[in-house]
Amino acid sequence: MSEIGEEYSAVLQRNFIGREPVKPFFSSVTGNIETIPLDGPYWQKNLESRVLFRTAVLHVLALIENPVFLELGPHSALAGPIRQISAEVSSSAPYVSTMSRGEDCTETFLSAVGKLFELNVPIDFSTIVTGGHCLSDLPPYLWNYETEYWQESRISREWRNRAFPSHPLLGVRQLESTSLEPSWRNLLIVDKDCSWLRDHTIENSMIFPCAGYLAMVGEAMRQLSCPHTGLTMRRILISTALLLADMGSTELVTTFRPHRLTDSLQSQWWDFTISSFNGHSWVSHCTGQVMSEAGNPHTAKTDNTPLPRKLESARYYNFMDTAGLQFGPRFRRLENARCGTEQDSSTADMSSMTIGDEENYHLHPTAVDAVIQSAFFAALKGHPDTTLYRRVPTNIASLTVHQCEPSGDMKILTSATLPSHGGDLVGQAQQVLQNGKIIFHMEGLRMSPPQAAEAADKDISQYPARLTWGPHLDFLDDKHLIQPSLPRDVYTPLLDELAQLCLVYTHRLIKDVPTSVSHVEKYQAWISTQVQSLGESIDPAIAASDDESIMAKIRSLTQTMSDTPVAACAIAMQKVATNISGLLSGQTEALDILLADNTFYEMYGSMDTCDRSEFMKHLAHTKPNLNILEIGAGTGASTVQILKDLTLPGARGFASYGNYTFTDISSGFFVSAKELLKGNNNIEFRTLDISMQRKELQRCLDWGSRDCFICEVDRVKGYTIGYQLCTTCSSSQVGQHG
C-alpha cells in the first residue's frame, strides 16, 4: 500500500477536510487518543500501517470508565478479539453488534439499541420512533374484580411471603412441612454462616457444640410463638456428635411436633429432633422438649462473698486443650473465675467479646458453652488432672433462657459435682445473671467422656510440674550449638560443577524459545541472570562443550553422587535439565517430575545440613511456651527433627512449645505434612506468600507475637542447598529488620 500512499493522500486532500475529533478517538493506527485533525496524511498512514487494534482497545479499557463496545459492521467479527483482550486485564466490558450475518438487519439493529438502553447508554429515541400524540377520548375499561385470575400454589405463596429470613444455624422453614409439624432445613457452611464454629474443636475434629443445638431450638420456638421473650427446654439428649465438614456444607433438619398427653389431648410442649445427613443416611443428634416462656426473668438472690480459690482461666483452658477440648479464642470466654475448696461451686465473669451475630440468638452459643465449661471449675475445685476435663455434654434435665443484652455484663454461678470414682460430671444448677436478673438457668447438666475417643492414659503424673535444670541460652556459645551435619567441602565442588553444567545446558535450549507459561518466563529470566553473573567463572571446558557432551557429563556427575547425602539434589537438577523442553511448553509440571520417586522429599532432607538439636533444646528450656513460625516448611522433613528436639524426654513426650505454625507458599504439601506430623500437638498449617507487602505480611503472620522464626535461606547457584536459620526476635526487632 505504500506505493499508492502518496497518491491516495493527494486525492483525499482535494475533496476532504480533516477535523479534530469531538469525542475521545482511540486510533488503531497509533494506538493512542488522537486530538490532531484526521486529514489526508493520517488516512495515508492508516492505509500503510499495521492495525494496532489490541493497543487501542487496551487504552479504552484503561482510560474509559465502564466502557461499552458497539461494532458498526455487517457482522460481529470483533466479538472474539475484544473478549480476549478484555480477559487479559480481567475486564468484562459489554459488547454489542448492530448486524449479524444471516439475520434481519432491522431486528438486529433494534436489538442492539435495546441492549444499549439496558446498559444505561443514552439513546435518542426520536430518530427511531416517529412523532405522535396521545388519545384522551377513549372510553374507560370496566374492570371486573369478582374473579381472581392469578393462580398460585400454597408453596409459592409461602415462599414469597416468608415471615423470617434464613437463620445461620436453623436455616429456613421447609415449605413442604405443615404448621402442625413444622420443620426447618439448613445447608451449614462454616466459613460462610458461622466461622466461630471453627474454634470448637474436640480431639482435632471440628464438632458442632451442644450450645448450637439449643440455639437452633430457641430460634424455631421464637418463630412459632408470639409474643416471645424466652423459652424453657427439658429432657435434652445429645446422642451423637456432629462432625462438621471443613470444606463444603453440612445438611441439618430440625423437626417439631406437638407433645401429646393422651391420644386426643396435646400439651404446650413441643418434641424436637435435630438430624443431619451423612451422605447415605440420616443421623439423629439432639432430642428434647421445648415450650415458649412468656414471663419476665426472675430477680437473682446472690451471695456476694467471693469464693476462696482464685483460678487462672488461661491455665485451665490449657488443661482442657491437653484433654482434647481444643477450644479457640471465641470459645474461651470465662474470666475472673473462682471456686470453692469445700463446696462444689464456682463463679466467673463472661468476657465482653463481640462475635458479630448476637442478634440471631437469645444468648450467643459461645456464651452458653462458657456456662457449660464452668461446671469443670465447680466440680473439680481447680484440680489440675487433665483426665478429669475430658468430658462433653450429653444430657440436660431442664433450662430456661430469656432474651439478653449482648453488650451487657454477665456473671455465671455454677454448682456441680463429680463422683470420687469418676464417671459423669453433673451440673446441679447453673445461672447467668445480667443486671440482677436470671437470664439463663440450667439444671441437670451431665457431661460424659467422648465415646469415640481412645481410653485415657492411666500412667499420668499427678504432679502439675517437674523441675529440670539447664543453662540459659544467653550464657552458651552459639558456635557450639549449631554444627554442620555433613562435610560441605567434599560435596560443594561437585554440586558447583553440576550446577554450571545444568545452567549452560538449560540456557542454550531456552534462551530464544518463546513460552506462554508465566512462571516459566520468570525461570528463563532467572537462568539468564545466573549465567551472566557467573560470567568468566564458568569452566572454559564446559563453555566449549556441545550439548551431548554436557548431558553425558551431567549423568556422570549424578551417578558419582548417587551414594552421597546430596544425591537427591543432583537427581533433581538432572530431572529439570532433562525435561526442560516439556517444562517450557507447559506439557510437563515441575512438581510432577520432582515428586516422582520421592525426589522432592529426599531433597528437603539433603538440604537440612545443620544439626541444631542442642540450640533448639536450650532455646525451649529458656522459654518453654515458644510461639514458633516456620516459613517455607515444604514437605516437613526438617520440621520432624525440630519438633523432636522440642519434645521433652519421657513416655508422654510433653511439647516444650506453645504453638507451631507450619507455612508454605502452597497448600499442596499440607496433606502429606499433616500425616507426617500427626503425632504432634499445637500445630497450625497456613499458606504464606513471602513476596507480599511487609505490612500485609506482618498482619497475616501476627508478627509481633512470635518468639521464634525458622526459615530457609537459599544459596542459589543453579541448585539450592538450604539450611534452617532459627532466631528469637522481639516485635521491635521484627519491625526494624523486616
DSSP class of residue 665?
Answer: S
Q: Hey, is 393 helix, strand or coil? A: strand
- For the chain, the farthest-separated pair of C-alpha atoms sits apart, in whole angstroms, at 113
* Residue 530 Cα distances to 503, 507, 523, angstroms: 8, 10, 10
Name the E strands within 150-227: 172-173, 183-188, 200-202, 205-206
DSSP class of residue 647?
Answer: B
- The residue among 237, 234, 220 whose CA lies nearest residue 170 is 220
Residue 444: exposure state from Cβ atoms within 10 A (0-12, 13-18, ≥19): middle
Residues contacting residue 74 through CB under 8 Å, at least 6 positions apart: 99, 101
Q: How far apart are the first and last CA of the chain?
A: 60
Catalytically annotated residue among 369, 608, 645, 664: 369
Query: Do the beta carbons of residue 629 and residue 710 sit within 8 Å?
Result: yes
* Residue 300 Cα distances to 80, 340, 406, 431, 436, angstroms: 74, 20, 19, 9, 6
Distance CA 288, CA 286 (A): 7
Query: Do the beta carbons of residue 439 and residue 363 sit within 8 Å?
Result: yes
Distance CA 208, CA 193 (A): 13
Residue 204: exposure state from Cβ atoms within 10 A (0-12, 13-18, ≥19): exposed
Which amino acid type is present at position 707?
D
Q: DSSP letters of 525-542?
A: HHHHHHHHHHGGGS-HHH
Catalytically annotated residue among 59, 167, 193, 200: 200
Query: Do the beta carbons of residue 369 and residue 209 sit within 8 Å?
Result: yes
Distance CA 212, CA 363 (A): 11
The two beta strands, 230-238 and 172-173, are: unpaired
349, three cell numbers: 465473669
* Omega within 30 of 0 (cis) for the link into 227: yes
Residues in the chain: 738
Query: Do the beta carbons of residue 558 and residue 571 sit within 8 Å?
Result: yes
Residues contacting residue 737 through CB under 8 Å, at least 6 positions apart: 729
- Host H or E run for residue 331: none
Which ranges of 449-487 would DSSP assign to H, the alpha helix?
A: none
Question: Is 200 noted as a catalytic residue in this protein?
Answer: yes
| 562 Rama sector, left if φ>0, alpha if ψ -120 to 50, beta otherwise | alpha
Name the E strands within 389-473: 392-402, 411-417, 425-434, 437-448
| 66 Rama sector, left if φ>0, alpha if ψ -120 to 50, beta otherwise | left
Distance CA 506, CA 581 (A): 9
Exposure class string for 253-273: b at 16+ Cβ within 10 A, else e:
bbbbeeeeeeeeeeeebbbbb
DSSP class of residue 207?
Answer: B
Name the E strands within 459-615: 483-484, 610-611
Which amino acid type is present at position 51?
V
Place of cell 497448600: 667
Query: Do the beta carbons of residue 715 and residue 605 sit within 8 Å?
Result: no
Q: Hey, is 565 helix, strand or coil? A: coil
Catalytic residue positions? 200, 369
